[in-house]
């Protein structure tokens, strides 16, 4: 499926340069680099009409639909969560239920398609100043998520990492509810890529506490990060599954890392059975992350989804407990600052890929 290019009207083109956020938790240089990437900011299903509030890279955003209510319906708007009139948070407003967009909760100004101000109730016959329109960002729905980019240029192709098999016949598409993590997105993704922690962190979900050895593997650079094929006997059977897999089965996990904070993983079960999942760690700030999940599978497709949600929440929380306490809170990109073991090849490749993108230390707060 090809993604649309960004329409001129949905970009900040012609506006003042994107200002640094009021509460900046990154270094300005790192923040500017990070704003060039695409991140999910909501589940498609939670933006019904609107307004829905989210924060990306310290920038408060309001998300709403004009002319439709469900996922994929109407025109989706991602804009600064800030009324140009007196700086009120637009996400405090209410869905007007008329399909025409949102209303500021302070003086009732209306905002519709492409963030245009469409009505000033105090002066219904007056002209609407150009500066009363919202600063908007591109909005793309893909993999059940709403994606945006703060610094996209008109005509840019959305750079949204792939969820392998998502559109393949026989695969069930699933979005687990997001979770908030009080930690840096890089720490979360480092954990996603880590193959040495299963026996110690996930022994109550899918791993065997006695299976601790990490066989050799080798990450390979890609255009936007790296990939790694990891073979081991660590199983990946979810709770409640109907699948049975021999104990000595050799599992392949194919990881792909997309700079800066998105990882995907395809787990090869026996035969052509696959589980494919994406973890997109959306950086709310340098110390807070909203973890989005999009996954698909061609087994257990008639099992209740609540079981999938519950199982994954348990796995996410197992990781969260560790990640929220790591020090330093950021990800040291200088390899000399930490001690490494051969099992860390992916987390070293991750640091190299972030360094190659020009990133430094990520945050100051």
Question: With binding defined as CB under 6 A, does residue 36 bind ligand FES?
Answer: no
Question: With binding defined as CB under 6 A, does residue 107 bind ligand FES?
Answer: yes
CB of 127 to ligand FES, least distance (A): 16
Question: With binding defined as CB under 6 A, does residue 104 bind ligand FES?
Answer: yes
Task: Tell me which of 76, 109, 114, 151 binds ligand FES, using CB under 6 A.
Answer: 109
The H or E element that residue 191 is part of is helix 185-193
Q: Looking at residue 95, what DSSP letter applies? A: B
Name residues whose C-beta falls within 8 Å of residue 184's C-beta, 6 or more positions apart in sequence.
283, 286, 287, 289, 329, 330, 331, 362, 363
CB of 68 to ligand FES, least distance (A): 24
Task: Tell me which of 85, 203, 254, 288 binds ligand FES, using CB under 6 A.
Answer: 85
CB nearer to Fe ion: pick between 30 and 319: 319
Question: With binding defined as CB under 6 A, does residue 340 bind ligand FES?
Answer: no
Segment 288 to 307, residues that bind ligand FES, using CB under 6 A? none
Segment 232 to 291, residues that bind ligand FES, using CB under 6 A? none
Stretch that binds ligand FES, among 80-88, 130-138, 328-336, 356-364 (CB under 6 A): 80-88
CB of 225 to Fe ion, least distance (A): 19
CB nearer to Fe ion: pick between 298 and 314: 314
User: What is the CB neighbour count within 10 angstroms for residue 244?
Assistant: 7
Q: Phi first, then psi: what are they for 119, rounded to 5°?
A: -160, 140
CB of 13 to ligand FES, least distance (A): 24
By residue count, the chain amounts to 365
- Are 227 and 256 within 8 A, CB to CB? yes
The listed partner (Fe ion, ligand FES, none) that binds 319, CB under 5 to 8 Å by sort, is: Fe ion
CB nearer to ligand FES: pick between 109 and 183: 109
CB of 301 to Fe ion, least distance (A): 25
Name residues whose C-beta falls within 8 Å of residue 139's C-beta, 6 or more positions apart in sequence.
10, 63, 76, 77, 78, 146, 147, 148
CB nearer to Fe ion: pick between 175 and 205: 205
- Are 58 and 24 within 8 A, CB to CB? yes
Task: Tell me which of 30, 81, 141, 319 binds Fe ion, using CB under 5 A.
Answer: 319
- CA dist 234 → 321, 322, 346, 356, 358 (Å): 21, 20, 17, 32, 35
Name residues whose C-beta falls within 8 Å of residue 290's C-beta, 6 or more positions apart in sequence.
41, 54, 178, 179, 180, 181, 281, 282, 284
Strands 59-66 and 75-80: antiparallel
Question: With binding defined as CB under 6 A, does residue 331 bind ligand FES?
Answer: no
CB nearer to Fe ion: pick between 58 and 319: 319
> By CB under 6 A, how many residues form the interface with ligand FES?
8
> By CB under 5 A, how many residues form the interface with Fe ion?
1
Question: With binding defined as CB under 5 A, does residue 293 bind Fe ion?
Answer: no
**DSSP of 199-257, one letter per residue?**
HHHSTTTT--TT---------EEETTEEEEEEEES---PPTT------TT--EEEEEEE
Question: With binding defined as CB under 6 A, does residue 79 bind ligand FES?
Answer: no
Q: By the criterion CB under 6 A, which residues form the site for ligand FES?
A: 83, 85-86, 88, 104, 106-107, 109
């Amino acid at each position: 499926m090809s993604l649309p290019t960004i329409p001129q009207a949905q970009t900040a083109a012609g506006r003042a340069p994107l200002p640094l956020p009021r509460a900046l938790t990154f270094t300005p240089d790192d923040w500017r680099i990070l704003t060039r990437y695409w991140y999910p900011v909501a589940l498609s299903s939670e933006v019904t009409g609107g307004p829905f509030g989210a924060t990306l890279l310290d920038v408060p955003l309001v998300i709403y639909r004009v002319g439709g209510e469900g996922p994929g319906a109407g025109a989706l708007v991602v804009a600064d969560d800030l009324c140009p009139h007196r700086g009120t948070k637009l996400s405090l407003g209410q869905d007007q239920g008329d399909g025409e967009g949102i209303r500021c909760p302070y003086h009732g100004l209306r905002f519709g398609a492409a963030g245009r101000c469409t009505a000033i109730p105090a002066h219904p016959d007056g002209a609407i100043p150009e500066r009363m329109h919202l600063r908007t960002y591109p909005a793309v729905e893909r993999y059940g998520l709403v994606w945006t980019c703060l610094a996209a240029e008109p005509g840019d192709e959305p750079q949204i990492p792939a969820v392998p098999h998502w559109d393949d016949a026989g695969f069930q598409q699933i979005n687990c509810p997001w979770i908030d993590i009080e930690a840096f997105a890089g720490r979360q993704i480092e954990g996603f890529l880590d193959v040495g922690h299963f026996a110690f962190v996930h022994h109550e979900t899918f791993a065997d506490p006695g299976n601790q050895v990490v066989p050799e593997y080798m990450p390979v650079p890609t255009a936007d990060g790296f990939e790694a094929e990891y073979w081991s006997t660590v199983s990946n059977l979810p709770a409640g599954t109907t699948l049975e897999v021999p104990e000595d089965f050799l599992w392949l996990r194919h990881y792909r890392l997309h700079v800066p904070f998105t990882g995907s993983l395809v787990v090869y079960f026996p035969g052509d059975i696959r589980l494919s999942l994406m973890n997109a760690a959306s950086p709310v700030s340098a110390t807070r992350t909203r973890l989005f999940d999009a996954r698909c599978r061609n087994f257990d497709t008639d099992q209740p989804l609540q079981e999938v949600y519950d199982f994954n929440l348990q796995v996410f929380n197992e990781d969260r407990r560790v990640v929220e306490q790591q020090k330093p809170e950021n990800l040291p990109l200088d390899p000399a600052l930490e001690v490494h073991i051969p099992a860390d090849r992916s987390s070293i490749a991750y640091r190299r890929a972030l360094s190659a993108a020009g990133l430094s230390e990520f945050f100051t707060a």
